[in-house]
Amino acid sequence: MQPKKSLGQNFLRDKNILDKIIRAADLKADDFVIEIGPGEGVLTLKLIKHTSKVIAIEKDENLAEKLAKNFQFSIFSFQSISNDPILNFKNKAAVIVGDMLKANLPLLIENNFVNSDLFVDSNRFNYKVIANIPYYITSPIIKLFLETKYPPKEMILMVQKEVAERICASPGQMSILAVSVRYYAKAELLFHVDRKSFWPAPEVDSAVIRIHETRNMKHETKEDTKNFFRIVKAGFSAKRKMLLNNLSSSLHLEKKIVEEKLKKVGIDPSRRAQELSVEEWKKLAKIM
C-alpha cells in the first residue's frame, strides 16, 4: 500500500529496531497496550506475542481494515464505541478506526479496563502506550495522554530525533516542551533510529524515548496547572534574556518584586529559563 504523505506515513522496515522497541517496553503477559498508528502492523504483531491485549488505533480506514482482515483482529470505530463503548475483544488485539486526537480517551479506558487487574483505583489504570507516531502530531499525542484523567504507566514513542532530544534535555538546555512533558512525568532518550530504517525514508532521523513515572494529578487543581504553565511561558517569552527580565515584562510586574520572589526560592535572577529544572519552576509558580 502506498504511504500517504498527508498522514505522515513512514513504515518501519528494520526488524532490529522493532526488537529494540519490544525490549525497551519490557512487556509482561498481562500488560494492556494502546498503539497509535499501527500502519502495516509490523509492531502490532510483535506486541501481541508479548501482551494479553492490544488496542491499535489507526486513522487511515484502508490500513485499519487491511490490518483487521489480514490478522483476524476485531475492528471498531470511535463512533461505535461512543454508542457501545465496551469492545468485547474476540482475540488479543482490536483495531479502532479514527483520529486518536478526537477520541474520548477516559471513556475508552474506563469501559475496557474495569474488572481487570489493570485497574488500580478510581484514578489509576496500568496500561502502556507504544507507538511510532506521525511526527506532525507528536506534541498533541503526548499532551493528550499526559493530561488525560488516566495517564499511562509508560509511553515508548518513536519521534523525530530533534524533538526527542528537546524532550529529554537537561537543565541548561530546557525548552517549554521539555518542561511541559516533565511536569507530568520523567523522560529519557533510549536510542536513535536512522531514517533508512523506514519506507519511504523521512527527511530526518528518529529516536525512541520513554516517558514514565507519570504523576497522579488528582492533588493538582486545574488552577495550579494553569498557573504553572503561565509562569513557564512568561519565563521563556524571549530567548537568551534573563529570567528576571522575561517575568517582569510578561507578567507586568516591577523588576524589584520579581527579583525578591526569585531570591526567596533560591533562584539567581540572572539565570535564564532554559537553566531551570522542573522543580524550580514549581517553586517559582507557587510564589508568583
Q: pTM for this one? A: 0.87
Name the band, by pLDDT with cuts 50, 70 and 90, for residue 77.
confident
What is the arithmetic mean of pLDDT over 185-208? 86
What is the arithmetic mean of pLDDT over 136-149? 91
| Residue 64 in grid coordinates | 485499519
State the CB neighbour count (10 A cutoff) for residue 69. Answer: 11
Distance, CA of 231 to CA of 10 (rounded, Å):
37
| Residue 223 in grid coordinates | 488552577
Q: What per-residue confidence (pLDDT) applies to 113? A: 67
- The SS3 assignment for 56 reads strand
| Residue 21 in grid coordinates | 522497541
36 vs 117, which has greater pLDDT? 36
Name the band, by pLDDT with cuts 50, 70 and 90, for residue 122.
very low
Comparing 99-108, 153-162, 269-278, the range with the smallest average pLDDT is 99-108
pLDDT at 2 over 90: no
Complete domains list, the chain, with CATH: 11-216 (3.40.50.150), 222-287 (1.10.8.100)
Name the band, by pLDDT with cuts 50, 70 and 90, for residue 196.
confident
Q: What per-residue confidence (pLDDT) applies to 7? A: 47
Q: What per-residue confidence (pLDDT) applies to 13? A: 76
**What's the whole-number average pLDDT of the chain?**
86
What is the arithmetic mean of pLDDT over 148-170? 93
19 vs 84, which has greater pLDDT? 19
Cβ-count burial of 202 within 10 angstroms (0-12 exposed, 13-18 middle, 19+ buried)?
Answer: middle
What is the arithmetic mean of pLDDT over 141-145? 94
Name the band, by pLDDT with cuts 50, 70 and 90, for residue 95.
very high
Per residue in 163-173, pLDDT (tens digit) is: 999 999 999 99
Residue 204 and residue 160 in contact, taking contact as beta carbons nearer than 8 Å: yes
What is the arithmetic mean of pLDDT over 58-71? 90
Q: What per-residue confidence (pLDDT) applies to 131? A: 92
- The SS3 assignment for 192 reads strand
Per residue in 199-238, pLDDT (tens digit) is: 666 678 999 999 998 876 667 788 999 999 999 999 999 9
Q: What per-residue confidence (pLDDT) applies to 82? A: 60
How much of the chain, in percent, has pLDDT values that exceed 70?
A: 86
What is the arithmetic mean of pLDDT over 83-100? 76
What is the arithmetic mean of pLDDT over 45-52? 91
